Structure 1
Amino acid sequence: MSGAVILDIVYAFDVKPGDYRIELVEKAMAILNLIVDAGTHLVDLIPPLKYLPTWLPGAGFKHTAAEWKVLVDGMFNTPFEQFKATMEDGKAEECFSASVLSHGEDEDIDQIARNLAGSAYAAGSDTTVATLTIFVFALVLFPKAQVAAQAELDRVLDQQRLPDISDKDQLPHVTAIVLEVLRWRPAIPLGIPHRLTVDDEYNGYHIPAGSTVMGNAWAILHDETIYPDPDEFKPERYLNDNGSLRTDIPYPSETFGYGRRICSGRHFAHDILWLAIAHILTVFKIERPLNENGEEITPKAEFTPRFISVPKPFKCRFTPRFPGAKALIDISSNVSQD
């Protein structure tokens, strides 16, 4: 879903399930998730290793890197070249890349547009899926957290339609769940590794140039002085007693990075997550799996130790909440495929 939405926005591509461009992105993202894991590759810690000849024992990473480069370059180049061809034929629709190419005066505008578009779906596709998986897992572990939001959705929508972004102000409990998902288990718990270009000082610590630094989003978002019981999934922490959103609890922006390198698509990502979560909560009750005796099973709260951290495979049940739920799902599916 997320990859298709992003490709639509940046290139106006009408992407269907099984589209080769989505497969291309998925393969490249699997590689990128391996590349950015800090400390995984010795050459990241000892940069001069990149000058080793490929025939030398221990330099096999160079062969692997060359193979990976083909996939990652394809993710950036293939959709862009296809879009440029439609633009030159006068058939391109209005979209992000068309705007950049039409208004840019830089001689490197093609490269800039290609890198911007590629970065958009590289940064947004896997993280969105990961966060939605974390949302489902949270409700499997803490099923009562969905009750208030679903009552709110029923009051606003009367079980007659799916919510849209214009309903957001009337659905603070849904927003609170989104905020708590971002805080409870950030999809990138240690952020993207960065390297200092100059010496720096931070809180009395000297950090020499060349050091690898990582923003520990996990630690910040589990600060007990700000978020009591941080390991508990408690959307109500973001709500006042009257059900309105609190303004004294910080937005979990650390999930999206820091400073001038913070995710530029964070507002779009938040809205996509909000809509997806609101739609799921409208039509489904998320429940724990059952054993052979019909008794609920609570999965272990285990996550993968990767750059993008997601729950280890788990089972759950999606139960339609009311008789007309299936009709709403069918309508939504038909609209998304048109």
Structure 2
Amino acid sequence: MHLINLLAILVPTCVLYRLKKRFTQLPLPPQPKGLPLVGHTFSTPSTNEWITFHEWSKELGTNILYLNVTGQSMIVLSSAKVAIDLLEKRSSIYSSRPYFPFHVDLMGAGFNTVLLNYGETWRRHRRLQHAFFGSSASSNYRTKIARTVHSLLGRLIEDSKDFKAQVQLFAGDTLISLCYGLDIATREGRRYHEVFLEGDKALLESAISGSFLVDFLPFLKYIPEWMPGAGFQTKARLWRGVIQEMIKLPFNATKENMETGNCPPCFVCTSLGSTGQKLQGPDLEDNVLSAAGSLFSAGVETTVSIICSCILGLLERPEVLQRAHEELDRVVQPGQLPDFNDQPSLPFVTAIAKESLRWRNVAPLGVAHYIEVEDEYEGYRIPKKSVVMVNQWALLHDEEIYPDPFAFKPERFMNGDVYNHETKDPEFACWGFGRRICPGRYLAFDAIWLTIASLIHAFNIEKEIDENGTPIEPNPSYETGAVYGPESFPCRIKSRSGDFAKLVQAAIVQHAENSD
């Protein structure tokens, strides 16, 4: 009996030892030359890293790159096959997130679904989000999207000088309506939008790579705020207050509306109701609070980036705008604005939307995954506790898939006047991979498509003119951080005619009447 017990201990131990020895004998994936001890810390750029990573991958002839940055193992994947093999086929071990002490412990952003480690709390968030934003459910909210799109058109007719701010207001309006059933047209609603923008700005600034040393040296989180060099503690305290207000203020307003029976269908209302009760137990309210705040923070700036990049592309290629005008004028009935029923008959507008996702993709390196166990892939050792990133920029600018990849060319998705389904849909990479793929991707594309169709149908989009009558070439810098998007640039957005302005106003009035 003792022998049996001894064997029961020794056999698994020997197997684990052999496996560990096998792993440690495997080579790491190819890596650029580094320095002793610090590895690639000083050769890794802090901006546009995806370009450098892609160059290194090409030089080394690999689609799986290894880096050592301040002692942290990093794996960069540069092909869809490798991303699918690891992040989807082995998703049970590749679905965690790296730990960021500044965000989670100091700033209070650990509520965010995007940052949550793979576990039960994350699963609860995703069940709630999928029930509301999944492919079968997202079409139920197209009327809300149409209302916010038409409101955007109305504001641009009145004032298009700072069109980026108007697009930002539209994105916030859409998500506040969908998540909380609130309307930014009211004084209270505008306050919710302002609070969200403050919180979102804090999240974006804090997400800039390498901003806080505490993320690399976690013990620094214990340094008191009054000590020299602890300015990050002050920032974290201030941002924590902003973020708490961001997630609690609209949530509490929605709960009050539910108590008075005055809550339109929205994520919070639905999730706190019978649908949510079926999905989870007594901690439902905390999960709904966090999941709703996560959806807003993930959706606003990404939408703004895609729409503004689309406008930039149309300025560079006025013939694309002209072709889209012709298609819309041919398909959309006189006296109407585009709607989702027109989508099958507007393949070139869809091609513009797809190219807008691809051309200046909003998350060049996606959101980092994390593997807590040792793994092997194609003879290479993937060290445990490695950060794993997909170079989405490289995938979406692959010359073999998208010839002339740095040009804005919606026609790459067309075969004559018919949408070309043989061209790889950029959605294979732009929403992420595996179990951490964007839960709101169906609804997001609906909003992007209708916004682009409506903007093109209602407006002429042209380069701004200087005092000498010379067109101003837009050449905006792109902000780097959690979201890659253009800074404001000069542009003229003018109604194509008075008839279009009247159509927009009539649509806005109709939405208001239907909501009464």
Q: How many residues align?
A: 337
Structure 2, gaps ≥5 residues long: 1-169
Q: Distance in 2 between matches of 1:285 and 1:204?
A: 55
Task: Return the match for 2:185 from 11, 16, 20.
Answer: 16
1:53-72 residue pairs with structure 2 within 5 A? Answer: 53-72=224-243
Out of 404, 411, 425, the position equivalent to 1:251 is 425
> Secondary structure in 1 aligned to 2:172?
helix
In structure 1, the residue matched to 2:456 is 281
Residue 6 of structure 1: CA displacement?
1.6
**Which of the numbers 464, 481, 496 marks the counterpart of 1:306?**
481
Look up the match of 1:220.
395
TM-score with structure 1 setting the length:
0.92
Counterpart code for 2:290: N
Structure 1 residues 12 and 312: alpha-carbon distance in aligned structure 2, compared to 1, 3 A threshold: closer
Change (3 A) 1:95 1:226: same
Offset at residue 313 of structure 1 (A): 2.6
Q: How far apart, CA to CA, are the structure 2 residues paired with 1:286 and 1:146?
A: 8
Once the two structures are TM-superposed, the CA of residue 202 in structure 1 deviates from its matched residue by 4.6
Conserved in 1, the CA contact under 8 Å of 2:209 and 2:481? no
Residue number in structure 1 paired with 2:492? 317
Matches within 5 A, 1:119-268: 119-202=294-377, 204-241=379-416, 243-253=417-427, 254-268=429-443
Is the 1:145–1:233 contact (alpha carbons within 8 Å) kept by the matching residues of 2? no
Structure 1 residues 53 and 302: alpha-carbon distance in aligned structure 2, compared to 1, 3 A threshold: closer
CA shift in 2, pair 1:194/1:45, >3 Å: farther
Query: Relative contact order: is structure 1 or structure 2 higher (C-alpha 8 Å, sep ≥ 6)?
Result: 2
Greater Cα shift, 223-232 or 284-293: 284-293
- How far is 1:17 from its partner? 6.5
1:6 is matched with: 175
Say if 2:207 and 2:481, in contact at 8 Å, map to a contact too. no
CA deviation profile, 1:8-63 (whole Å, cap 9, x unmatched): 22222122176100001000000010122222211122222223333332222122
Deviation of the 1:219 alpha carbon: 1.2
Does structure 2 conserve the Cα–Cα contact (< 8 Å) formed by 1:38 and 1:193? no
Describe the SS at the equivalent of 2:341. Answer: helix
Residue 74 of structure 1, CA deviation: 1.4
Equivalent residue, structure 1, for 2:93? none
User: 1:306 Cα deviation (Å)?
Assistant: 3.1
Q: Percent identity?
A: 37
| Matched AA of 2:185 | K
Q: Check the 8 A contact 1:200/1:207 in 2, yes or no.
A: yes
**Structure 1 residue 101 corresponds to structure 2 residue 258:** no
Q: What is the aligned partner in structure 2 of residue 297 from structure 1? A: 472
In structure 2, C-alpha distance between the alignment counterparts of 1:120 and 1:54, rounded to whole Å:
31
Amino acid at match of 1:14: D
Distance in 2, matches of 1:274 and 1:123, equals 18
The residue identity in structure 1 corresponding to 2:265 is E
CA positional deviation for 1:332: 3.8
| Aligned-partner Cα distance in 1 for 2:370–2:405 | 30
Runs of 4 or more consecutive aligned structure 1 residues displaced over 6 Å after TM superposition: none
Q: Secondary structure at the match of 1:324?
A: helix
Give the counterpart letter for 1:16 in structure 2.
A
Q: CA deviation at 1:66?
A: 1.5
Give the Å deviation of 1:304: 2.2
C-alpha displacement of 1:323: 4.3
Whether 1:88 aligns to 2:263 is no
* Residue of structure 2 in register with 1:112 after alignment: 287
